[in-house]
Structure 1
Amino acid sequence: MKKLVLATVIALSVSSGVTLAADTATQHFIPVTEANFAHAETARMYRNWMKAGANQQFAILENLPPRGNKAPTVQMNDDTLYAVAILHAVEGKVTFQIPKTDNYLSVQVITENGHGEYLIVEDGVHTVKVTDTKTAFLIYRSGLENGIEQARESLHSVDVSLFDFATDYVLPKYNFEEVDKEVWKRKRIVDGIVEETGKFTYTFPRTPSEVTDLQQWNLENAAGWGGASPVANEGNKYVNSPFIHADKCVTTTFEDPKNTFFTSVTAYDAEKYLIEGAVAVNSYTWDKNKDGTVTISFNCGDDAINNIDTSAYKGDFTITTRHYGATQQVIDSEYDLIIKQLKEQNG
């Protein structure tokens, strides 16, 4: 049983055979278009994780995701450990196992077109059909509610003998510098939407047939690739905030949404990467007010309740709210109850 243990992810300059099919100086690249952007961005994510051997071994993050753009994926959460396996879809299906654990442990099955077709939390061996894909990208998320050691143990107890690793997978011939530029452009569009409307909410359609707004789908892939669809008490809801002034004390006070699994608030830099020293606040550990509400503070000092300190970044930042196993009320709400209550404090 092979496992890849990563102390830091992707920051390692690992060469695992992730090469383009021809020399980049002479290669004819696939143009990146609106129609194939999700496929191109997904190929970039495959490329990032293949550097860690995810198409050959179970690539386990032993620690929380790296801060800044060393992270393999944008908007990684700060509440779980990750592990990834890239598998063949054999006769249109993939097989994997979720061991019995005492912490949150899920598997998301993502196709080459970027769709998180399944999010599964039940223990046992699962075989699922996947749509329009020869391989599938499996993301394991292991919750930290019982500590990081148990989160690691849960990932290491996965039966990887069931995995049919896609060792012969060849990346599509995209110019990934061009993909990076297209991602950057769409992130700026997301910024504009948030500044105009006060939020950006992710829908993450599970299959191509569920895409009703191609621009929205492409924006979601650029700003938050790999998220799960908001299905009541099972899937997740994610919302981005407007930029928050880093030199102000800002708070939000809200009723506990009581999502099925957990709720979290995470700060990100302008490119949607985690900030050094800015630890997420989640419902596993947050302190509540006497009336049962929750207050989360940003840059309000060490004595402030549930304070998130972004000072290492030196710039304005955004937050993302995550509702894991979102309630129907959270899904139906037009405005995120946490982001809506953001207020600058005097002094």
Structure 2
Amino acid sequence: MKKSFKTSLIAFALTSVLAACSQTTDTSTVTMAAATSQFIEVTDANFAHAETARNYRNWVALGANKQITHMRNLPPRGKDAPTVQMNDDTLYSVVIAEAENGHIKFSIPKTDVYLAVQVVTEGGHGQQYVVGEGDYDLPVETDFAFLIYRTGVEKGIEAARAAQDKISDDTFKFNTYSVQNYNYDEVEEWVSKLTAETQGAVFTYTFPRTSDGITDRHQWNLENANGWGGSSPEVNVANLYSNSVMLDGSKCLSTTFEDPESKYFTSITPYDSARYLMPGVKHVSSNTWTVNSDKTVTVSFNCGADAVNNIDTKGLDFSFTMRYYGVSQKVIDGKINPEKTVK
């Protein structure tokens, strides 16, 4: 087995890393006006592709188009993170590889922690989501695929890192992806505009698996802006995500709900208004939460260290995302809605 590339992501200005990836020539200097004229225009029709290209680009800067790139710690807070709304309950390992004959091949090693692989197309679709040990040969509808390995930290960070070390990247065709020529400042402006649109109401993701599953282009754009790389819900396999509205961080708030009975685990993670993780703020998950005597679960926000399952956002306004890993049918049916009952 080829030794996996190991890298630690620390909180640093991502722009300095991305600058190293920019293309220059020795014979000429391209003016800003000329460069701008060559950009692909961002539109409603191609926003999902543009946002996907932005995420691919961010991970290219970290080497994921050359070999598997491991995050050895939980994601950076704020915009130092390479992807919007990263989950705070697993470690990430990422591959960007060329599909061969319309398929992507990979393996998941045997481990004693949660380990899943999601295959994200160039259109932003999580076309495949698989959990558990095995060799996989799966179709993908675009020329390149972005593979997200999510490794659970339920047994501690060292156990998660040990599981990452078992992942092989021998089956991938690397070094052929080219960063797409969008103006990524413009893409970021679209992201900010679309994210702001959803802050006044509870937002639930659908994440169609393939391009032909899109029934509402604007909804799909909102999903990519708020949580690129999410999975299409599948009972007992893939995940369902939903966001709360923005909440007042100066108040003690809580939500109580029936056990979601996710096959793997459930988590509740707070985010800032731009949908990034918050400095010094931790998530709560079913791996560790306290259950009430009636078997319901209460999660508190800014209610003090003694409050049950308290999440302290340091007085900052926030929204939170529910993640159901291996979602149950009752959650898919809308019978559990913690994001709608917080008060």
**TM-score of the pair, normalised by structure 1:** 0.92
**What is residue 215 of structure 2 aligned with on the other side?**
212
Are 1:157 and 2:158 counterparts? no
Displacement after TM superposition at 1:16 (Å): 8.9
Q: Could you tell me which of 63, 87, 94 is aligned with 2:104?
A: 94
SS at match of 2:7: strand
**What is residue 56 of structure 2 aligned with on the other side?**
46
**What is residue 82 of structure 1 aligned with on the other side?**
92
CA deviation profile, 1:177-226 (whole Å, cap 9, x unmatched): 1000011110011114x1xxxx1000000000000000000000000000
Are 1:301 and 2:298 counterparts? no
> Which sections of structure 2, spanning at least 5 residues, go unmatched?
none
**What is residue 137 of structure 1 aligned with on the other side?**
146
CA distance in 2, matches of 1:37, 1:10: 27
**What is residue 22 of structure 2 aligned with on the other side?**
19
Displacement after TM superposition at 1:34 (Å): 0.6
CA distance in 1, matches of 2:248, 2:39: 41
**What is residue 179 of structure 2 aligned with on the other side?**
171
**What is residue 322 of structure 1 aligned with on the other side?**
323
Correspondence list, 1:169-248, <5 A = 169-192=177-200, 194=201, 199-248=202-251
Structure 2: which amino acid aligns with 1:61? M
Q: Is the Cα contact below 8 Å between 2:9 and 2:76 reproduced in 1? A: no
SS at match of 1:52: coil
Moved more, 104-113 or 9-18: 9-18
Displacement after TM superposition at 1:290 (Å): 1.9
Displacement after TM superposition at 1:264 (Å): 0.7
What stretches of structure 1 move > 3 A for 4+ residues in a row? Answer: 9-17, 20-24
CA distance in 2, matches of 1:24, 1:275: 37
Displacement after TM superposition at 1:4 (Å): 3.0
> Which sections of structure 1, spanning at least 5 residues, go unmatched?
none
Are 1:33 and 2:43 counterparts? yes
Correspondence list, 1:237-316, <5 A = 237-311=240-314, 314-316=315-317
SS at match of 1:301: coil
Displacement after TM superposition at 1:284 (Å): 0.3
TM-aligned CA distance change 1:260 to 1:159, over 3 Å: same
CA distance in 2, matches of 1:320, 1:92: 33
Are 1:109 and 2:110 counterparts? no
**What is residue 3 of structure 1 aligned with on the other side?**
5
Q: Is the Cα contact below 8 Å between 1:268 and 1:274 reproduced in 2? A: yes
Q: Is the Cα contact below 8 Å between 2:268 and 2:320 reproduced in 1? A: yes
TM-aligned CA distance change 1:269 to 1:66, over 3 Å: same
Structure 1: which amino acid aligns with 2:75? P
TM-aligned CA distance change 1:78 to 1:2, over 3 Å: closer
Q: Is the Cα contact below 8 Å between 1:20 and 1:173 reproduced in 2? A: no
SS at match of 1:162: coil
CA distance in 1, matches of 2:326, 2:4: 32
Displacement after TM superposition at 1:122 (Å): 2.9
Displacement after TM superposition at 1:24 (Å): 6.8
Q: What's the % identity of the aligned pairs?
A: 51
CA distance in 1, matches of 2:137, 2:31: 38
TM-aligned CA distance change 1:258 to 1:31, over 3 Å: same
Structure 2: which amino acid aligns with 1:173? N
**TM-score of the pair, normalised by structure 2:** 0.93
- The alignment covers a number of residue pairs equal to 333
Displacement after TM superposition at 1:235 (Å): 1.4
**What is residue 147 of structure 1 aligned with on the other side?**
156
Q: Could you tell me which of 125, 130, 133 is aligned with 1:120?
A: 130
**What is residue 65 of structure 2 aligned with on the other side?**
55
Aligned-CA RMSD value: 1.7
CA deviation profile, 1:96-127 (whole Å, cap 9, x unmatched): 11000111100000011111000011312111
CA deviation profile, 1:67-99 (whole Å, cap 9, x unmatched): 111111111111100010001111111111100
CA distance in 1, matches of 2:216, 2:317: 30
